[in-house]
Amino acid sequence: MKKAIAATILAAALGTAAAGTAGAAQAGSTTSAKAIAAKAVTLTVKQSAFVVNYTDVQVRTVLSNGETLVSVRDLSAALGAKLSTLNGYTTVTLDSHSFAFKTGVKQASVDGNVVNLNQPVKVLNGTAFVAVKPLVQALGGTMALKDGKLAINTIKLIAGGENARFVNASQAIVSVETDAKRTDYLVDVATGKSAELLSTEGGSDLIVAPGGAKAAYTDGEGAVYVLDLASKQSKQISNDTSIKTELVWSADGSAIYFLQGDKGSVIAKVDVATGTISKVVEDKVDYKSALSVSPDGKKFAYLVTTPPKATADGTDLDKDTVAIDASGEQVQVNLFDTTAEKPAAVALTSAKDDKLFVVSPDGSTVYYVSVADENASATVVSVDKEKKTATLLAEGDVEELVLSGGKLYVLTAVNADESAIYEVDPATASQKLLYKVPASASGLAVNGSQMIIALEDGLYVNANGSWKPVTR
């Protein structure tokens, strides 16, 4: 109803303007046709480079009376706006905003309100051109010059996003943490548009299932939930309140593995359909972390941390004589193969270097980041079930390691100003430099050729070799 009333008001206003123009023409009929023609100016249509919602596009433009006019069709397509025509009026609609106009007229309707334009909407080569500023502002957008190009933004990026996880090629989950809660959003990585998925207090991170249709998490009490990413509805599948960490989906999405207990002593799983929890590995090994599960659910790679020992001299109770012995503290990569004749935890490593980011695609080989000491650069190392180790990448100081599509992706610090992202093929040990990024880069997420990193001012996704923001 509001749009119909607005269209009536606009039609009346435009009709009055047209009548006034006709009257003026009659009154000035003595003006010669040659004089009018002399005032005509030939306008030239050209292709202009714009940055629309962080994407480079080409838009037809015209410079008229010192004002840039833009092809309504070109800009609408770049913005993803809808075009419709009715009774000679064209309406551009984007989200909750609308801009309605008629060619040859200096007025338009913005969200139902009539506004004046500096010059009439023009038609050149069959295409309508309107001043870019009032059109962008009417659609709730902003404009600025960036690297010599006009940058137009109509998408409100979420603020404070972190911990990006790809759902599929076009979407990622991004979390926003506050002191009170964590809110997860589903973000379109091409446009930055977001929709709230879930808000929890004390819950774990969302772990995306194979196929990207669901995600799992635990609440503050340890109960397990599965979230349908399409409907945004959560379903509690288990009310067991034991401590659960390191959630890992099975390859077929039928179960969720996790470390159970305050010391991560047990590897267990919950059946998604029934909620039944069963222990898979109970090897008497405490302080597990970085759980990795083979596709067949038979092999489990993880880190084991040997904690420092506390000693005390109890002869003098008035003195604080507790001492911490860290000489035996170390982190080792373990493998548990349930198909072995005598299943048991096997330590694949023995060196006292720190170890981080364990990943294992099939349980036969494990990849991790090795930090020899505080003065040495971290490297990417592989170790197989025969305990044979090999260095796969020793460029810079490795900070993060991600496994995706059978390839390893590594974020490594180059110097105080620059980091780099490498792709490593574990099968051939070949390495390829993909990108140079600012030294502040962190939080690497990978989905095929797509990547997301966190910089100081937000999360950025790589699109055709350039980085564009998806949060701010």
Q: Is 18 helix (H, G, I), strand (E, B) or coil?
A: helix
State which H helix or E strand residue 382 sits in: strand 379-384
Residue 449 confidence class, pLDDT cut points 50, 70, 90 = confident
For the question of whether the overall pTM of this predicted structure is more than 0.85, the answer is: no
**Which residues are CB-contacts of 23 (< 8 A; sequence separation ≥ 6)?**
none
Angle at 351 between CA 348 and CA 357, to 5 degrees: 65
Whether 14 has a pLDDT exceeding 60, the answer reads: no
Which pLDDT score, from 0 to 100, does residue 6 have? Answer: 43
What is the rounded CA–CA span in Å between residue 159 and residue 185?
Answer: 11
In 3D, which of 49, 85, 75, 90 has the Cα closest to residue 136? Answer: 75
Q: What is the pLDDT of residue 316?
A: 59
pLDDT tier, 18 (very low <50, low <70, confident <90, very high otherwise): very low
Q: How does pLDDT run across 261-305, given as a tens digit for each residue?
A: 999 999 999 999 999 999 999 988 999 999 999 999 999 999 999
Q: Kindly list the domain boundaries of the chain, sorted by start residue.
A: 2-23+43-153
- At position 269, the amino acid (one-letter code) is K
Residue 136's Cβ-count burial label (10 Å; 0-12, 13-18, 19+) is buried
Q: Please give the torsion angle defined by the CA atoms of residues 333, 339, 343 and 344, in that order, rounded to the nearest 10 degrees.
A: 0
Lowest-pLDDT choice from 3-7, 120-124, 197-201: 3-7
If you count them, how many residues does the chain have? Answer: 472
**In the structure, what pLDDT confidence band is assigned to residue 464 with cuts at 50, 70 and 90?**
confident
What six digits make up the tokens of 282?
A: 């109970």
Q: What is the structure's pLDDT at 434?
A: 96
pLDDT tens digits, residue range 317-363? 555 566 665 555 799 999 999 999 999 999 999 999 999 999 999 99
The better pLDDT of the pair 34, 252 is held by 252
* Phi-psi region at 170: left, alpha or beta (left = phi > 0; alpha = psi -120 to 50): alpha
Pick the more confident residue, 316 or 79.
79
CATH of span 2-23+43-153 = 3.30.457.10
Radius of gyration of the chain (CA): 31
- 411-442 residue pLDDT tens: 999 999 999 999 999 999 999 999 999 999 99
What tens digit of pLDDT does each residue of 81-98 get?
Answer: 999 999 999 999 999 999
pLDDT in tens, 20-29: 333 333 444 4
